[in-house]
Structure 1
Amino acid sequence: MEILTKVIETIADKEVTQIRLINDNGIEAHLITLGATWQAFLVPQADGSKKNIVLGFDTPSHYNQNGIAAGQSIGRVAGRIHKGQFTISGKDYQVAQNNNGNALHGGPNGFNRQHWDYELVQNNDTIGVKFTYHAKETVDGFPGDMTVTAFYQLDNKNKLTVSYTASDVTKDTLFNPTNHVYFNLSDKQDLSSHELQIQADQVLESDDTLIPTGIKKEVVNTPYDFRNFKPIIPAIEATGGIDDAFLVSSKDNQPIAVLRDKESRDTVSIYSDRNALVVYTFNFPEDNVYFARDNGLENKKHEGVAMEAQTLPDAINHPDFGDTIIKKGDTQTHTITFAYTKA
């Protein structure tokens, strides 16, 4: 196993370092210090080439020029908070409203916009990088300060695990991070050969601004029924594009979701310790966006699917959605694992 580092850009006098984790099977995970971002995931192919199966940018500053958040660390709170308002320990808070009057992905100064420090970690079984960011109330508006680490580890079983930890918390506050990775397991700019399975019997109902109404809908006899493998395109066509939170369960250490490409047989299984998977099928491409894997072609609608493991969105305003509060002085860790195989 090998770790390679290099500075690939300087943004506002801050160096952005790329860390390449390479296991003994030739799998490569590329991470960058801007946004503690998962930049690329290269998997060997039969012809000796390597295919990048995630959407990202070669140039770090491109992450700041759009709202896609491809592969970036998201926090303090993933997803939306209704009107940016919540109450903790009897005190009301208002944070930035950066999406249709709601707070989205930690606001305009969330984790993905920050430069993180890094430390390389290597042992007998894994190689990794631990990113660290000191979140301040004066920067993002959420109550209190905290130290956050995003610890990526790659092993020789082709599993990439990211663990998000909050510590040194100075006030009762919120912590519900995720990685906003988009997958495309094919060599095309669409999802036509992709099949998906999700361990979810229910999906959240949402309003026109994608705020949960509080109603949990059964997926049976709907386009959202992915309890068994099925092609993803019919669901996209039936819904106009998926952007929904699935209530997932992990039984006997099984993955909460599996995405596979029926042509290449490349497969990614997702494991999580929380109760939701937000699936977003890239319904709104942006002008002048060129992903590294697309060889100079502009991004296309529905060319990737984001798989965001987290606690249900707006949980702070719905008592039955899960607990996203972290108490002053506590330490909390959430882990997501992405396992690559050839099916």
Structure 2
Amino acid sequence: MCSRDCCSGQTGKPGNSCADKKKGKGLSDEEKIVPTPQSLLYPYEVIQEIADFIVKGSGMRPRIGIICGSGLGSLADIIQDAKVFEYEKIPNFPVSTVEGHAGKLVVGNLEGACVMAMQGRFHFYEGYPLAKCSMPVRVMKLCGVEYLFATNAAGGINPKYMVGDIMLMHDHVNMLGFAGNSPLQGPNDPRFGPRFPALVNSYNKDLINKALEIGKAMGIESNMHVGVYSCLGGPTYETIAELKALRLMGVDAVGMSTVHEVITARHCDMKVFAFSLITNKCSIEYDDKRDQEANHEEVMAVAKNRQKACCELVSRLIREIHAMPPSGTQAAKTGV
């Protein structure tokens, strides 16, 4: 706390008064903290450097990017002719710290298509700003990716949802955005996208409909839903009051990821398909039973049991996309 002697200049030491400190006088370079806008944490040139490293190291330009949610890293394990990059060995790349996130980037072929998959994402609750959490999406874009597949483990708020169900996301409620936190904060670089991107049709309707057809062919249509997802900051699971509020807002499932990645993907004009694996039912009634409390071990166990169905759904949808002609931009990037 400031004292009377401090601001009246009685300390006798220049640079020690509150007024001097506010002006930066008497402070070392380490003590002068200048906030950096999120969008400047990874400028275009740094993203391009990371993308060039991956393209050169893999010898491939992927068309589809996949972000594997908690316990769903097996999606990357089915990639053939895979080139694996550990996050810590990729220049300027963060490191995932959460169990169930291997921390590897895998580039290879799946159902005839060239894909890149993240085995482990970055979360706001790990201490990373949203721009850093979403940075790999921009790397994917500069590698040539047109489609983003984002998966997550989520708690089911909709009472019709059962553990093990798959919810195809057709919209989201951005709770972090309500608090003024966005991966697009700071100066906008038009090389990525516009200053004010629209998010009305963030989730590709054609891909959702195709996934529903695939689910029916797989015989899992009774375990599939189309719903609204919301991302909270974590790492705590939600209170009863918070879950009730989210349900009143029309939210069907809640987690701690994906939304800021989708925002970043849409900002740079990528087509998005996303789904939540419902790993626990959220209780919206007050109860003293501890077995109603969500826990990470349960999330991992359910994801492991349902990984085969999730992998098949993604594989079949990628097969459909591979049959579609690439866009002009991607066609121009076929050379490595």
Normalising by structure 2, we get a TM-score of 0.31
The structure whose RCO (Cα within 8 Å, separation 6+) is larger is 2
Q: Which has the larger radius of gyration?
A: 2
Which structure is higher in strand share? Answer: 1
So what's the TM-score if we normalise by structure 1?
0.31
